[in-house]
Amino acid sequence: MLKSILASTRWKTISKAYSSAITTIAMEQQPVTKQKLSGYDFFRSIGSPKHIVAPMVDQSEHAWRILSRRYNSHLCFTPMFHARLFSDPDNGHKYRQEQWSTDNEDRPLVVQFCANDPQILLRAAKLVENDCDAVDLNLGCPQHIARKGKYGSYLQDEWDLIKEMVSLLHRELAIPVTVKIRVFPTLERTLEYAKMIEAAGAQMLTVHGRLREQKGHNTGLADWDKIKAVKEALKIPVIANGNILYYEDVQRCLEHTGCDGVMSAEGNLYNPAIFTPRDMPPAVWEMAQEYLDICKTNPTRVSVMKAHLFKLLQPSLPVHTDLRTELAKAGSLDTLVSIVDRLKERLQKDQEDIGEEELNGASDENGIRKYGHWRCQPYFRPTLPSDHGKAKGEQRKREKEEALKAQPVPTLDENDHVDKKQRQNDEETACC
């Protein structure tokens, strides 16, 4: 870096001192092609990042990356972009305008695509190769939409296609290609898979230690042992992903897996300062206000900002349900700012009234830390009971019937609706 700054400063001095003829010649010269780095040379060139913000559809957007980088995130991934839509000759510019934004400060950066056609993937990757440090192929998305579109984890048995996509990018792109995968049920298959991807030309591999089937209520734990085995089997840098709830988990994961870095998605969304060591996590309003401030100068879709606020403010919304309802209805940045300002006043009072003597982050028997509802903290998805909620559903039905008899007004209030919608969103996007 220093070298290139010195070099460019020197060149500026020379070009000032000499005649305009020389300047013209210099301008006509082709830019020197940067040497394409591989494996650890590439990894070191981007600062050997240990703390990595995951690719997250509609959530690892430019404004969020700015916030996360302020809190010790060393490398960020963009949300997954759809390679065909991104590079469509007729409408691609609209998609890109809506989804993709960056600037010189937004580095190091990996742009992620989903794709199932090597040429289309290359066409999309070429559009970003000057604005990022690597292009990543998503082989992890387990959602219904990925099954329909035949991408993400639904390609994990199509090894020839994967090889073709990775090797084409490796050959034709000026920057490295990287890949993000989920694991297979057996270690043998997982290792074979990871080695195949490395041999095809991937220069870094992120391993999300969950199976394709682990999503929604069935998310469960990521398997760090499988990640460790992949790390030991490969020569390229390997990034571990899954089970990062608190700052302390980062170090535990690095030690357990031996990986080069740790990636966080949900942990980062609920606490963008997750990679920062501190006594207590930040107050939810602090992060929300800082994020919205960034959005003032980095235009962000309202739906994206709202999704962030629902997660950031999650611990406090069940307490201040009227603001949750307002948040669900909000349609502008100004309204969001006003909601957060009012919530802040109330939460500061709650904090004063309740105090933090007991809510000091001590772990319970399940390792869940107790914080006041004004502090950023992870969200724990409720697990389904063994009857898949049937008994509870029937009980709720009976209660509803009773309530209707007593008072003929709808019992499903707006907040139920908000929660339901939010839960649906969470389940759709979580663990892509």
Ligand X SMILES: Cc1cc2nc3c(=O)[nH]c(=O)nc-3n(C[C@H](O)[C@H](O)[C@H](O)COP(=O)(O)O)c2cc1C
376-396 burial string, b = 16+ CB within 10 Å, else e?
bbbbeeeeeeeeeeeeeeeee
Q: Is residue 208 involved in binding ligand X (CB under 6 A)?
A: yes
Of 4-12, 92-100, 264-272, 415-423, the segment contacting ligand X by CB under 6 A is 264-272
The two tokens of residue 58 are 């509609």
Q: Contacting ligand X (CB under 6 A), which of 54, 166, 211, 317?
A: 54
Residues 149-188 that bind ligand X (CB under 6 A): 180
Contacts of 180 (CB under 8 A, 6+ apart): 55, 112, 136, 137, 138, 139, 140, 205, 206, 207, 208, 241
Burial of residue 140, with CB atoms counted within 10 A of its CB: 0-12 exposed, 13-18 middle, 19 or more buried: buried
Q: Tokens 């440090």 identify what position?
A: 133
Q: Contacting ligand X (CB under 6 A), which of 53, 80, 111, 202?
A: 80
Residue tagged active-site, from 76, 132, 141, 253:
141
Q: Is residue 431 involved in binding ligand X (CB under 6 A)?
A: yes
Q: Is residue 432 involved in binding ligand X (CB under 6 A)?
A: yes
Q: Which CB sits closer to ligand X, 71 or 320?
A: 71
75-101 burial string, b = 16+ CB within 10 Å, else e?
bbbbbbbbbbbbbbeeebeebbeebbb
Q: Contacting ligand X (CB under 6 A), which of 52, 57, 66, 304?
A: 57
Of 24-32, 101-109, 136-144, 273-281, the segment contacting ligand X by CB under 6 A is 136-144
Q: Is residue 372 involved in binding ligand X (CB under 6 A)?
A: no
Q: Is residue 272 involved in binding ligand X (CB under 6 A)?
A: no
Distance in Å, CB of 245 to ligand X, minimum:
8
Helices 321-329 and 333-354, axial angle in degrees (round to 10): 170
Of 95-103, 227-235, 237-245, 362-370, the segment contacting ligand X by CB under 6 A is 237-245
Rounded to the nearest 5°, which phi and psi values hold at 149? -85, -5
Q: Is residue 344 involved in binding ligand X (CB under 6 A)?
A: no
Distance in Å, CB of 141 to ligand X, minimum:
6
Q: Tokens 């800082």 identify what position?
A: 290
DSSP string, 355-386: -SSS-EEEE-TTSPEEE-TTB-----PPPPPT
141 is an active site residue? yes
Distance in Å, CB of 243 to ligand X, minimum:
6
- Applying CB under 6 A, the residues found at the interface with ligand X are 54-57, 59, 79-80, 112, 138, 140-141, 180, 208, 241-242, 244, 264-267, 429-432
Q: Which residues are catalytic?
A: 141
